[in-house]
Copies of this chain bind each other. A is one copy, B any other.
Amino acid sequence: MAKEPKLALIPLGGLGEIGKNMMAVRFGENILVIDCGLMFPEEEMLGIDVVIPDITYLLENKDAVRGIVLTHGHEDHIGALPYVLKQLNVPIYGTRLTLGLLQGKLKEQGVAGEANLQVVKPRDTVTIGPFKVEFIRVSHSIPDAVAVAIHTPVGVIVHTGDFKIDQTPVDGEVTDFYRFAQLGERGVLVLLSDSTNVERPGYTMSERMVGTTFDETFRQAKERIIVATFASNVHRLQQAITTAHRYDRKVAVIGRSMINVINIAHELGYLHIPEGTLVELEEANRLPKNKVVFLCTGSQGEPMSALTRMALGDHRQVEILPGDTIIVSATPIPGNEKLVARIIDQLFKQGAHVIYEAVSGIHVSGHPSQEELKLMINLVKPRFFVPVHGEYRMLIKHADLARSMGIPAENIFVAENGQVLEFTRRSGRIAGRVTAGRVLVDGLGVGDVGNIVLRDRRQLSQDGILIVVVTINRELGQVMAGPDIVSRGFVYVRESEQLMEEARQRVKEALEKCNDRGLSEWAAIKAQVRDVLGKFLYEKTRRRPMILPIIMEV
C-alpha cells in the first residue's frame, strides 16, 4: 500500500503575536510561503527598529522554496522582504497594489533589482511547483487584499489573510463570497483564519461609516481640516479626498510615507483624485482656511511623524491654529495608547478642535468580528481549522468559536511559531518543530543585537552606569593613576559630588587591599571593585547602576 501523501503547514511568524506574519506550506520537497512581514519592537526591546521572522528553516531548505505569495501590502505581511530577499531570492506573487507598495520598499533598501515580482489578480490561479494557488478577493483596510486557496495533492488549504466582511466597500470590490462558498461546497481541508478581532462580538462596521462621519465633520468645519490616518489606508484617503472635493476644499499631503502611498495608489488607479484637488503644501498654506484639508501621518503618535511635529509646534511648514478641526482617524495600536493620548492633549492645548476615537465613530477596524469569523467558517466548511494572526488568547478564543460552530476539538490546532502541522486527507497532528523566532534589526545590524545586549541596555536604562578606571603598573605593584569614577544616567553629578568622592574612597581602599596581593589578578580586582561599589551605592541610593571597572596597565 502506498504511503498516504502528507502536507505540512509551518507557521514561521504571526502566531501568538500580531505581526511578522509568515506561513510555510510544504509538500515533499516543495515549499510555498504565504506573506513575509515585520513586527515593531516590544517595549523591552530597547533601541531595536524592527523585528523580522527567523527564516533558518527556509534557508536550510533553500532549494525547496518555490515562491512567496502575498495577501496584501501591509508592513506586517510584506515588511521583512527587503531583508529576506537578500538571503532567499524566489518569485514573489501579489496583486498590483501589493507589489507596487513592495517595490517602493525594495527601492528604499536598494534591493529592487534583485526581485522577481509576479502580478496576479483576484480569481487568477498560478501554478507554483505542485501547488495551484488561487487568489480570492477580500475586504481589508488596504485595497487589493486577497485570501489564497492552495490546491495541493492532499487537499485545499484556504488562508484568509487579513479580512473583514464589508458589505459596502469604498471601492465597490466586495468579498468573493461565491469562491469561498464554492470551495467550501467542494471540500476544504484546512482553513487558516484571521484572529485579530475575535474578542469583539457582532460585525465590524463598514469603512463607509467613516465617510459619513467625514461628511458631517467637513460640513461643520469653519476653518482648516487636518485628517491624520494610516498612510496605507487608501480607502480612508479616498474618502477624505472625495469629501474634501465635495466641500470645495483642496488637499495637501504631509508625511513621506503617505505621499509615497498616494503616488503609487494613484498611479496604479486605486485612488481617484479629482483634477486639481491635490495641491502642494506651500499652495495650501496660501489658501483661505475654509478651502483646505491636510492629510497627514502620525495617527499613532509616532515621534517623527507629521502630526506629532505639528502638535509639538515643531513642524517647519504647518502650525496648529485655534479653529483647526483635527480628525485622528485611527485607533491606537496596543502599546501606543499613551503616545496618541499625549498628541491629542497637545493639539487641544494649541486650541484645535480634535475628533478622536474615544469619543466618536471616526475609525473602523479592518479585521473581522465574531459574526464575520463565523460566516467565513460557514462558507468554507473546513475539515481542520487553524486560527492565525493573533496573540495567544485570541487564537484560543478563535478555537473556542470554531468549536462552537461544530468543528470537532481534535480538528482544531492552536499552534505556535515553528510547530509543524501535518495533514493527510483525513488526519491532522502536530508533528515536531523547526527553528522559528525573531531576528532583531537595529540600524544596519540584522541579528547582531541579542539577549545580552538587550539586558545591558535594560540595566543602563534603569540606573545608568559607573565606570571606574585605574592605571596600574603590575611590576611595581602600584596604582599609577586613578581610581577615577565617571557616571552617566546615575545621579546628577553636580548635586552628588560628596557621594562620588566617597565612592572613590571606597574603591581606593578596595584597591589597597588587593595591592597586598600585588595587583596581579585583574579579574579579582574587578570583582572586588564591583562588589564594594555596588553595596555602597545600593545602601546610599537604593539603585543598582551597572559598574564597569577598567584597568589600564603601563
Binds B, one of A203-211, A266-274, A342-350, A417-425: A342-350
Residues in B with CB closer than 8 Å to A481 are 471, 552-554
Closest to A463 in B: B47
Question: How far, in angstroms, from A456 to B453 measured CA to CA in the complex?
Answer: 17
Q: A489 near B453 (CB under 8 angstroms)?
A: yes
| Contact of A46 with B by CB under 8 A | yes
- Which of B199, B448, B495 is within 8 Å of A491, CB to CB? B448
Residues of B with C-beta under 8 A to A345 = 16, 391-393
A495 contact from B199, B349, B358, B448, Cβ within 8 A: B448
Of A461, A486, A491, A548, the most chain B CB neighbours within 10 A belong to A461
Q: A43's contact among B43, B344, B452, B541, by CB below 8 Å, is which?
A: B43
Q: Determine whether the beta carbon of A469 is less than 8 Å from that of B552.
A: yes
| A499 CB → nearest B CB, Å | 9
Residue of B at shortest CB range from A444? B542
Within 8 A of B (CB), among A445-459: 445, 448-450, 452-454, 456-458
B550 and A450 contact, CB distance less than 8 A = no
Interface flags, A24-47, vs B, CB<8A=1, else 0:
000000000000000000110011
Asked if residues A359 and B463 are in contact (CB atoms below 8 Å), the reply is no
Q: How far is the CB of A542 from chain B (nearest CB, A)?
A: 3
Give complex CA distance A334, B341 in Å: 9
Task: Evaluate contact between B460 and A488: CB separation under 8 angstroms.
Answer: yes
Whether A335 is near chain B, meaning CB under 8 Å from some CB there, is yes
| Identical copies of this chain, number | 2
A102 to chain B, nearest CB (A): 22
Count of chain A residues with a beta carbon within 8 Å of a chain B beta carbon = 69
Docked complex Cα distance between A437 and B480 (Å): 47
Residues of B within 8 A of A454 (CB): 489
Known: A46-B461, A334-B337. Is A490-B453 also a contact (CB below 8 A)?
yes
Determine whether A462 belongs to the interface, using a CB cutoff of 8 Å to chain B.
yes
| Chain B residue nearest to A488 in the complex (CB) | B456
Q: How many Å lie between the Cα of A177 and that of B430 in the bound state? A: 62
Tell me if A393 and B495 are in contact (CB < 8 A).
no
Q: Is A113 an interface residue (CB 8 A)?
A: no
- Chain B residues within an 8 Å CB radius of A178: none
A460-B461, A461-B47 known; A471 vs B359 contact (CB < 8 Å): no
- Write out the residue numbers on chain B whose beta carbons fall within 8 Å of the beta carbon of A354: 393
Contact B469 A393 (CB under 8 A): no
**Is A482 part of the binding interface, using a Cβ–Cβ cutoff of 8 Å?**
yes
Residues of B within 8 A of A393 (CB): 341, 344-345, 348, 354, 356
**A35–B554 alpha-carbon span in the complex (Å):** 61
* Residue numbers in B under 8 Å from A397 (CB-CB): 359
Q: Does A181 contact B (CB under 8 A)?
A: no
Listed by A's residue number, 18 A-B pairs whose Cβ atoms lie within 8 Å are A16-B345, A46-B489, A47-B462, A47-B543, A199-B359, A345-B392, A348-B393, A349-B392, A445-B491, A456-B489, A457-B464, A460-B461, A460-B465, A461-B461, A465-B465, A469-B552, A480-B554, A486-B548
